[in-house]
Amino acid sequence: MDADALPGASVIPTHVAVIMDGNGRWAASRGWPRIRGHEEGAQAVSKVVRRCGELGVQALTLYSFSTENWERPDDEVDALMGLLASYLTSEAKELMERKVRFRAIGELNRLPGMVQSLIHDLTALTENNDGLQLTLALSYEGRAELVHAMRKVAQGIVENALRPDDITESVIGQHLYTAGIPDPDLVIRTSGEMRLSNFLLWQLAYAEIYVTEVLWPDFDEDDLQVAFKEYSLRKRRFGKTGQQLSEGSGV
């Protein structure tokens, strides 16, 4: 990881997950329509994707649209789907130039047909890129992902491809939407909210959590640097004592 490119951070996380929150509040505080906040939030996405790629982050997963968001007013949902379609179209060239691999996870069949087609096309276009793995969680919720994985595992048992004793954490991980991507090291939540909001519930088991009061449209490269600096100061023990970690590293 290119920690030298980020002053104050000696360790760059391999996989960063972001709960992007505060678009509506950002717009409301300025007396603007909520969609304006989402438009500015899309600009923040571009900045963070670009910077993560420059720093050598291997994977970035963004909580872009939850299943609960379908309950928002129809006009806002329609505007969000239009904004998503615009992003998938306008960012394709830059994603290719920066060798970013794109994918989307969630109940994608609930998305408008045009958006599904754009996701398919962008995934295929970037599949051979060897840079940052960018994942958008769309029509996504963590519990639904676990239900989906359990059904896949159960089907394997029914088909005699698996025995109950074969079921391990690794096997479950292979049936998650994020199969093949390492679990996040760091999850960033903007707007000061202190909850995971049903995001990557299995994968975030050992992730470091960083919460900032900054609203997502205002989150930029400097805020990312602050988050990474804080991450580099954390001691990730994974159940061990500090002494055990020191002895294991030869310190």
For the chain, the structural domain boundaries read 3-141+184-235
The mean pLDDT value for 33-37 works out to 96
pLDDT at 1 over 80: no
* Each residue's pLDDT tens digit, 176-202: 999 999 999 999 999 999 999 999 999
pLDDT score, position 2: 52
pLDDT at 248 over 80: no
The mean pLDDT value for 100-111 works out to 98
Name the β-bridge partners of 105.
137
Residue 68 main-chain phi, psi, to 5 deg = -65, -25
Q: Is the model more confident about 10 or about 138?
A: 138
pLDDT at 119 over 90: yes
Give the other-Cβ count within 10 Å of 130's Cβ: 8
Give the separation between CA 124 and CA 210, rounded to whole angstroms.
33
pLDDT score, position 11: 86
Catalytic residue among 2, 21, 165, 223: 21
The mean pLDDT value for 196-212 works out to 98
Give the separation between CA 78 and CA 83, rounded to whole angstroms.
9
* Each residue's pLDDT tens digit, 87-102: 999 999 999 999 999 9
pLDDT at 140 over 90: yes
* Least-confidence region, from 1-5, 8-12, 78-82, 211-215: 1-5
What is the token pair recorded at 219? 């989150």
Q: Is 21 a catalytic residue?
A: yes
Give the separation between CA 23 and CA 217, rounded to whole angstroms.
6
pLDDT score, position 244: 52
Chain mean pLDDT for the chain: 93
Catalytic residue among 23, 69, 128, 222: 69
pLDDT score, position 221: 96
For 3-141+184-235, give the CATH class. Answer: alpha beta
Helix axes 34-55, 221-233, angle to 10 degrees: 60
